[in-house]
Every structure is written in C-alpha cells, then in structure tokens.
Chains A and B, each alone.
Chain A
Amino acid sequence: MKITICIGSSCHLKGSRQIVEEMQYLIAEHKLQDQVELGGTFCMGNCKNGVCVKLDEQEFSLSPATTKDFFEREVLTRVK
C-alpha cells in the first residue's frame, strides 16, 4: 500500500509536516514498514481543502488532528 502526502506550499501551511511525522510514528508503532510505503508529492491540485493524502489512488483530505483516526479507519483495516 502506498500513502502519498502532499508537501506543497498550501498543504505545508495546513500541517503536512505534522501529518508526515504522525504517519511515520504510526507505521513504526504498528510495525507496518514492509507493507506501507510513504511518499511525498508537490501538489495534488486540490488546494482548497485540508492536507491532500492519497491512499493508493483514493484521495482524502486530512488535518494533523484527524490523522490518527484516518490511519486506524482506512489504513489498519486494509492491511490486516
């Protein structure tokens, strides 16, 4: 599974660094390094919402506060 996080200016200002850090922490905590690949990109063309995150080809809009919830709901359920 690949999670791509937008690190372009707009998302950066909305907290993409915090989301990157949180994701790295959660992946390590659940020992999913072999199953989940993290990557960055500059802009997904959807700057009006929250931080753009892609789970394989599906797009989501996150904030640092909703990251843990997203991880448990979308990521953990798919890797099991």
Chain B
Amino acid sequence: MKNVIEADNICKSFGKNHVLKGLSFQVPEGAIYAICGKNGIGKSVLFRILTGFILPDTGSVKIHGQQIGIDLEFPKSTGILIDRPGYMPDSSGYANLALLGQISGLADEETIRASLELVGLDPDDRKPVRTYSVGMLQRLGLAQAIMEDPQLILLDEPTSGLDYESQIEMHELFLKLRDQGKTIVFTSHSPWEVSRVSEKAFWLVNGKLQEEAPAHVNGK
C-alpha cells in the first residue's frame, strides 16, 4: 500500500533540549495511526513538523510524496487540528469556518454545515467563539479539519477536553472517516484511546519512537 507520510531521521532541538532524536516512520494510505507519549514528551513538536509549522533540524517529512519545506510549505489535501486551536473570537463557529473555506476555496456553505453537524455543533448557532467551552472549540477544530474533504487528517490531541461520551462519538467519527478511505494520524496520551481507535501506535520515549508501549503503560 502507498505511504501517505514518510518521515526520515527527524531531529529537533530547542537549545540544549533534544526533543526528537532521529525519528523515522511511515503511515500507509487509509490507516489510523497514533503517536503516543506522556505530556511534554514532544508529540506536539513532531506534529508541528508533520504539518509544516516548524522544520526539523535534520531529516525530512514527505506527505503524498512531496517534501515539506522543500516542495511545499504546508502539506496538500491535509486537514489539521492543532493543539489549543485558535479562531477569530468575535465570530461564530460557522463564520470562522466560512472564512477558512473561502481562503482554501475548497469548502462551501453546504460542506461547512455538514461538517459542523457531523461533530455535533449547530451551524446556525450565532454565538461568538469566545463563549465556546473547551469541548466545543475542540469539535469546531475537528469540523475545520474535515470540511475540505482532505485525504490525510492530522489531529493533535483531538479528544482533549471532551467528556467520555463525546470521546466515544469522536472515535466513531474517526473510524467512519477511515472507512471513507481517509488516513488519520493523531496524538494522544491515553492508552485507552489508542487501543480503541488506532491500527498502529508509535510511542515517543526519550526523543525516539518505539512500536511497543513503554513499561509503565503496560503496567510492567
């Protein structure tokens, strides 16, 4: 199967703090993969490298065969949900997505409304985003990630701030998207979530990726 993501020997340091030490991995088309690890271990740094927001010190990331930072600034046909997503606080959720859709030219009123409904938000809700709860902001971020019908969806802590039932709903949504042929990569610190949704998990431990969960997670 074709690989959607090919990461090769990614290193990233901030001063003397070596966060990522030579990570290499591939994600095949149509799969759900998880990148796991404790809080502050570097998952979000890796995520920002995959999405093109920061460049690795060494190594490369190819998405759909194009190298980020060389061939493209940001990956094409990719939806993202970043950690603590930000919006225009005085506009409604719909208005925020409409503006983003206008920029990409890939989402019209119908698809935006459908995306909001899919994540459980009311497209006609005119409340400004600044009044949204953490969970609503997270749902809005998910709607934003999927509204342009991307082939690859990269989600950083997508269920953070959601209650148990909402997490289950989101997991079902991920599986539904996977069944539509989408590739999903998400970060999480919850072994429960990882085992529930992902086909494969990479664990980030001491700046390196391993395929086996660390001892403390397995209860060893």
User: Are these two chains actual partners, yes or no?
Assistant: no
